[in-house]
A and B are shown apart, each in its own frame.
Chain A
Amino acid sequence: MSEHSLIKRTAHAAGSAAVNVFILLFSLFCLFPVYWMLASSVKNDSDFYMNLAGFPQTFRPSNYLAAVNVGRLDIAFVNSAIVSGIAVFLILLISFVMGIVFARYQFKGKGFLYIMFLSGMLIPVHALLIPIFIELRAFSMLNNRFALALVYTVFGLPKGIFLVTAYASTIPREIEEAVFIDGGNIHQLFFKIFMPMCSPVLGTLTILSFLDAWNEFPFSLILMGRPELKTLPIALTYFQGQYFVEYTMMMAGLSIATLPVVIVYFIFHKRIMQGMVAGSVKG
């Protein structure tokens, strides 16, 4: 009897050790390439070639300067920040206002409009590359950071409207009555009452929209032809065209594009996970 339970317990311990090791290996598999990028970005060349996977033995932060100079990553960084900033602001403002209206008011054509926006999540955006290029060219809006931000706004709206609508539906009805009894108008109701109440969902939306805009590639590629307007993901492709690729510099360039995103992830990873799950599962 006791022998049997001992075997059982040993088997259980072995099983749980195996599970722990397996998941740990998988975690490292996800983490290691990112670590490798950051570690290689500060190595000198011989350290990179001779000590490929190891911890940096040398420290050469000038890789970052070289990457900035070759790829004009300083300009690209500013462009990315401007475009992402405008896009995030517009997505927040429009999703907030429309989400509140969808959640709390009845009007003609509401169902149609809501479905139109949600179906935007289904449109494969790459199918719109060519027509949006033609359309913006017709309005002379190529090489225009604001126009690129508008495109990002449109593709961020469906998720934003969905998240705000779902959140705002949970706010009790009595709020409106209380505000109007106190003599407030609709604009005060929206921006003084609803906006702070929606701050959790707006915070999540800010982070998610920033990540999307910062990382976006294909539209930036076709809409921003002029070198001084390119965003970071496009600027990174400059390294590719070079005859001789210095890998440590390349890793530094990739790190520059990635660090803002990783910092945001470090601070907000729980919210990012929740928001992404909500946005993708229910959408």
Chain B
Amino acid sequence: MGKGSSAIRPKSAILFFYMLPGTFLFVALAIVPVAMAIFYSLFNWSGGPNMKFIGLGNYALLINDRIFLQALGNNLLLAVCCVIFQVGTAFVISALLCSKILKLQAFHRFSIFLPVILAPVVVAFLWRIIYNMDYGLLNYFLRSIGLESWIKPWLDDVSIVMASVTVPIVWQWIGLYVIIFTTAMKSIPEEIFESASLDGANGIKKAFYITYPMILDTLKISVILAVSGCMKIFEHVYILTSGGPGTASMVMAMYAYRTSFIGQRMGYGSTISVGILVISLSLVLFSNLLVEGRKKKYE
């Protein structure tokens, strides 16, 4: 800092006073809870006065816990589906949305983004009714196009329940990725497309050789966003299936909730929380490393 600017630099005490409330709150309700989760994960504790220290016992339980592993598997399955169907479809839709042949662009942007701002609880309830056996939109639609044989108990069939849970999640957030991509695509200079057109490139070629490489970074960030978002899924599962039938659609957050608040096992619930934290953060770091590694290659 130069002398000139130090004259108008506020006193440290004032800066401290400005920074304190936010920092205090954040430490108290985000940092301390992480430490607490780690602490309580070492105990056998039902939430009452009796706490028994069992070291890493809960962790030994966790890595052999079939329900937790199933939940983790479901989270990962969700993540793969979201990357393919959410990010993938969003890319195609965005490329089409940005093309000049499309009419009603403002309307399309408006309606595709609308689900993003709805409460996940509302979306989950809405889809529960859509999936309803007798009065659901889905079966109504199948019946009206003569596909009665396709009608299924969408949320009660173990073999398809994860697909039924995935669709509303993809549906709700696809619009976010569409807007992310169209924003990135609109920033590509128009001249590149024009000169490609003069060289005889068609729409598909332009999408592959211009749009795709130009927004590659945005695409990578979106993949990270989708993966970390899928690790957080809770409301949709809570409302649609509560993790059922049995534990067929269990996800990690639902299992942590059920263990701690229905099963009253606060110690083990904390262990599951730490598990979620470690898995999510390592996935994000891992995908970040992939992104950075690829970037260096290009430079």
Contacts and interface: CB of A to CB of B under 8 A. Distances in A.
A150 B117 CA distance: 22
Contacts of B260: 129-130, 133
A23 B108 contact: yes
Nearest to B253: A126
Contacts of B130: 33, 36
A16 to B, nearest CB: 4
Interface string A176-207: 11001000001000100000000000000000
A217 B18 contact: no
Contact of A127 (B96, B141, B277): B277
Contacts of A116: 26, 31
Contacts of A176: 5, 8
Contacts of A142: none
Closest 3 CB pairs of A and B: A215-B119, A131-B33, A16-B101
A261 B119 contact: yes
A44 B139 CA distance: 21
Interface string B59-101: 0000000000000000000000000000000000100110101
24 contacts: A20-B102, A23-B96, A24-B104, A27-B107, A33-B127, A94-B22, A101-B18, A105-B9, A124-B253, A124-B276, A127-B274, A129-B260, A131-B40, A154-B28, A154-B29, A176-B8, A215-B121, A236-B121, A240-B125, A247-B132, A269-B113, A273-B109, A281-B180, A281-B225
Interface in B269-289: 269-270, 273-274, 276-277, 280-281, 284
B56 interface: no
A122 B224 CA distance: 11
A116 B25 CA distance: 13
Given A53-B140, A105-B10, A126-B256, A273 B113 contact: yes
Judged by DSSP, the binding face of A is helix
A7 interface: no
A97 interface: yes
A49 B140 CA distance: 10
Given A27-B107, A97-B22, A122-B228, A129 B34 contact: no
Interface string B3-44: 001011111101100110111011011111110110010000
Q: Using C-beta atoms within 8 Å of the partner chain, give the interface range for chain B.
A: 35 or more
A36 B114 CA distance: 14
B126 interface: yes
A268 to B, nearest CB: 10
B261 interface: yes
A106 to B, nearest CB: 6
B101 A280 contact: no
A83 interface: no
Interface in A19-49: 19-20, 22-24, 26-34, 36-37, 48-49
A157 B175 CA distance: 24
Given A186-B10, A251-B129, 7 more contacts: A126-B256, A128-B34, A177-B8, A217-B120, A262-B117, A277-B180, A280-B180
B277 A124 contact: yes
Contacts of A177: 8
Contact of A134 (B127, B266, B280): B266
Contact of B114 (A34, A130, A211, A218): A34
B19 A113 contact: yes
Contact of B93 (A23, A240, A258, A274): A23
B218 A20 contact: no
Contacts of B273: 126-131
Contact of A49 (B135, B235, B239): B135
B176 interface: yes
- Of A28, A130, A161, chain B has the most CB atoms within 10 Å of the CB of A130
A34 B118 contact: yes
- Of B11, B47, B110, B221, chain A has the most CB atoms within 10 Å of the CB of B110
Contacts of B135: 48-49, 52, 247
B179 interface: yes
Contacts of A262: 114, 117
A117 B29 CA distance: 12
Contact of A30 (B111, B239, B252): B111
B145 interface: no
